[in-house]
Structure 1
């Protein structure tokens, strides 16, 4: 390849020096190379240069198409292998060689020289000179006389304790409230709005001890507090009411239940920044048993006191397990006019 390039360069220089305008080179691989030189106008030929001849490209080589049907290769069947039928050689049993040991020579017993006992030497007996003993008399120690102690004090005899007598317990008190409290001794009412013997401290202590169960009971009666829902007439002249009455809202401290037993009602008790109250509405007839006003004399009439049942949360000081309960009380509720038969006098 390098030689071809050098030849091309040399010929190109030669052509440039002459008046040749067109030169073709051809190497061994049949690939033509055209080189065109344009000399000066003074040496230009009057004829146009010939057109270069282009050779047709060589077609690609044609290969034979592989056949679609292929025959399976044929393999030679293996020849069966034959093994010798001779029995294996028999081996004789292994017999270890006998071991030979060198003869043992008896060693002679050692000889010891005879033992010589040394001659006994007698030592002369020692003679002791008589010893002279000197006795020295020592004076007996002089002990001081023991001090004269005072006689032991004569202790008094232990007192004879008398056996303690068995305690005489008083009979158990009858846990029952008084039949009629002192606050209603001078009246015939079945409730009490003021009570000097009201056990406020005991009630507070019991509420704090049984606070959870007490709140459950109080929630049952808290919604029963009455509110003013009826306007009360101020005078009897109003014709709306046949019998005069007096309406009020009370918070009783003691009241008589439907069994005739006086109970302590929980009212105005302040525990844990909360005041527990029970309010109810009552209406008392002012002329109970008398004739109804504004009713003609031909009619038999009478003012009648009507009552209603109320539920209050009460305190029982003698119930040590749980001193609170809800009981029923009968209180005046309204005043009605009862009319009798019609009579005509001639």
Structure 2
């Protein structure tokens, strides 16, 4: 009986300590709402969470976000200007040859960049061979032979109303239809020759016409295809380009009124 009484006393003491003492731990003690007799029951605001609890919640939220951040791929901002850069044209105009003038071509001379041209030809030899064979399926020397043997027959027994000067040149540089100065491929292995025909008396009155006709000798041009390259950009392949070459002198008669 004494033992039972001692146990009951201990239990009563423990229960009394829990009811009257402060609660230990991270949570504050519950604050009961005092009863009121003059008005309705108004609950007090809920107690704020303990600071340790706030730190624990922030840590849990950070841990939840970290896997998402680690597995997510952040895409860069799309800039249409950077996504589609403009391709600039080759800077042909930065290297205008010394012979450039009012004409659109220059003859082959000692300033021709032969070393640079040979280096480009060696790099793209197969491509150059194919282009050259397509352009000159009849050898250039054969064309010159036929032209020299047939042109003098046109002067037999008469004259032209506009005289012209005929020359055969090996062009070194020429200006293409886009206004770019490029080098004309002209090596011992790949020679190119063009016929140049210019007015001997340009803008002069045509011969053998009556004085009532107002006429003049006008220069005519043709578009000639030549194999060309840019010696200042060795990474570019040689191409077949189009050039304006003087090829004839014609008599131009202005309109007039019959009386």
C-alpha displacement at 1:302, in angstroms?
1.5
The residue number in structure 2 matching 1:253 is 172
Alignment deviations for residues 71-90 of structure 1 (CA, whole Å, 9 cap, x no partner): xxxxxxxxxxxxxxxxxxxx
Separation (CA, whole Å) in 2 of partners of 1:184 and 1:250: 16
Aligned equivalent of 1:217 = 131
Query: Structure 1 residue 231 and structure 2 residue 162: aligned?
Result: no
Q: CA deviation at 1:222?
A: 2.0
Deviation digits for residues 91-126 of structure 1 (CA, Å, limit 9, x no counterpart): xxxxxxxxxxxxxxxxxxxxxxxxxxxxxxxxxxxx
Counterpart CA distance in 1 for 2:230 and 2:168 is 24
Q: How far did residue 307 of structure 1 move?
A: 0.7
Deviation at residue 190 of structure 1 after TM alignment: 1.6
Once residues 232 and 332 of structure 1 are traced to their aligned partners in structure 2, the CA distance between those partners, rounded to angstroms, is 19
Shift of 1:202: 1.6
* Counterpart residue number, 2:237: 323
Compared CA separation, residues 321 and 180, structure 1 to 2 (3 A)? closer
> RMSD of aligned C-alpha atoms?
2.9
Instruction: Identify which of structures 1 and 2 has the higher relative contact order when contacts are C-alpha pairs closer than 8 Å and 6+ apart.
Output: 2
| Distance apart, 1:181 and its partner CA | 1.8
**1:205 & 1:261 partners in 2: Cα distance?**
21
Residues 178, 233 of structure 1: alpha-carbon distance in 2 compared, 3 angstrom cutoff:
farther
Residue 288 of structure 1 corresponds to 202
1:161-200 residue pairs with structure 2 within 5 A?
Answer: 175-178=91-94, 180-185=96-101, 188-200=102-114
Cα pair distance change 1:218/1:311, threshold 3 Å: same
Which residues of structure 2 form unaligned runs of 5+? 1-89
Residue 299 of structure 1 aligns to a residue whose secondary structure is coil
Rg (Cα) greater in structure: 1
- TM-score under structure 1 normalisation? 0.42
1:297 to 205, 208, 211: 211
Write the distance in 1 (CA, Å) between the matches of 2:92 and 2:105: 18
1:277 is aligned to 191
Q: Deviations over 1:159-211 (max 9, x none)?
A: xxxxxxxxxxxxxxx943446421245xx322111444321112112212221
Aligned partner of residue 336 in structure 1, secondary structure: strand
Instruction: Count residues in correspondence.
Output: 164
Residues 189/233 of structure 1: CA separation in 2 closer, same or farther (3 Å cut): farther
Task: Report what 1:14 is aligned to.
Answer: none
Distance of 2:232 and 2:130 partners within structure 1? 21
Q: TM-score, normalised by structure 2?
A: 0.55
- 1:258 Cα deviation (Å)? 1.3
Aligned mates of 1:222, 1:205 — CA distance in 2? 22
Q: Which residue number corresponds to residue 162 of structure 2? A: 243
Give the distance between the partners of 1:247 and 1:323, measured in 2 at CA: 32
DSSP 3-state at the match of 1:183:
coil
